[in-house]
Structure 1
Amino acid sequence: MTAAAPAPADRLTLSAVGVESFHVIAALYAEAFDEPWSEPSVRELMSAPGVWGLVAAEPVKAEDAAGASAARETGGDPVGFVLARVVAREAEVLAIGVRPCARRRGVARRLMRAALRLAAPHADAFFLEAGRDNPAATALYLSLGFREVGLRRDYYRRADGARVDAAIMRCDLGSEYSD
């Protein structure tokens, strides 16, 4: 993954990815989170029934693209991802992450909107957890129609060992997310 100049969110390419792209997701996860999942864990998760993923990629300059397998798989330089699953008419975000160099540019919003649209034909509601120490993520989810429906105490563990509560959030998938 290169550190190209930031592209606006409207220039991102969103690509559906399957288990064959587990290494791209694992690399993005490692950049986005304090305690990343291992490649075998990502591969196992992505192999589970009902799991699907999207990768957001920025355009790659021709000179940066030579030999870049992640760019070939995702149509550009991967900057973010969402993994989700649908089971019994309920969808759930398993993980969403954006590389630090691409944050605050609408990447997560684009990924979430696409995930909501993809899930709508197969699910009645979409669930996720948001760390209480991440007000930007909570604000994003609220702006997309999620509401808080519960709490998981000490759900996340941060790099410094601190435990953080997570709000359980739900979005009802109505006609605004259907194509």
Structure 2
Amino acid sequence: MRVEVAGPGDWAQWRDLRLQALRDTPLGFVETAETALAKDEAAWRRRMTEVPLSLLARSEGRPVAMVSGFLIADRPYLGAVFIAPAARGRGLLARLVEPVAVWAWAFAPVLLLEVHEANPRAITAYARLGFVDTGERRDYPLEPGGREIVMALRPAAS
């Protein structure tokens, strides 16, 4: 499996994997499948240009996982994380997070993410990689009363 930087030319593969992600794990994202389906090619290409770091993992040339790194108020975040069911359980999450962490630590000594409180599998997976609960909570915009946990990953002390 290869993890590669995705660019505007990868928009269709990104879109297809994103739609799969939204159907598989709707609480993992702050977008609905319906909203994503309504976007045209130009919007997908723009997304691939505007987001600072987008990675696709490919197996036999087909995309099986995705992740992004982006900034919110100069704070680096991990997002758009999805691994297709057939590719899970192979250590791919660590391979996706590592380059995003390296990118993030060029901006700040922490990489943040938000994960829905009702997604214990993801919370556990991130904790195994060293992410810790910051104690901060955010409202999940697609579910009244839903909350997201903010987790942080810092570089290992040398």
TM-score range, shorter chain: 0.7 to 0.9
Q: Secondary structure at the match of 1:173?
A: coil
Q: Is the 8 A contact 1:86 1:92 kept in 2?
A: yes
Q: Secondary structure at the match of 1:55?
A: strand
What TM-score does the superposition give when structure 2 sets the normalisation length? 0.75
1:154 aligns with 2:136: no
**Cα distance in structure 2, aligned partners of 1:101 and 1:56:** 13
Deviations 1:50-69 (A, max 9, x none): 621111111x2xxxxxxxxx
Q: Is the 8 A contact 1:55 1:78 kept in 2?
A: yes
Q: Is the 8 A contact 2:6 2:48 kept in 1?
A: no
Amino acid at match of 1:168: V
Q: Secondary structure at the match of 2:140?
A: strand
Equivalenced residue count is 144
2:117 is matched with 132
**Cα distance in structure 1, aligned partners of 2:140 and 2:149:** 11
**Cα distance in structure 2, aligned partners of 1:146 and 1:174:** 11
**Aligned runs of 1:75-114 on 2, under 5 Å?**
76-86=61-71, 90-114=75-99
1:14 is matched with 3
Q: For the aligned residues, what is the CA RMSD?
A: 2.5
**Cα distance in structure 2, aligned partners of 1:166 and 1:27:** 25
Identity of aligned residues (%): 23
Amino acid at match of 1:171: L
Structure 2 gaps, min length 5: 24-31
1:30 aligns with 2:19: yes
What TM-score does the superposition give when structure 1 sets the normalisation length? 0.68
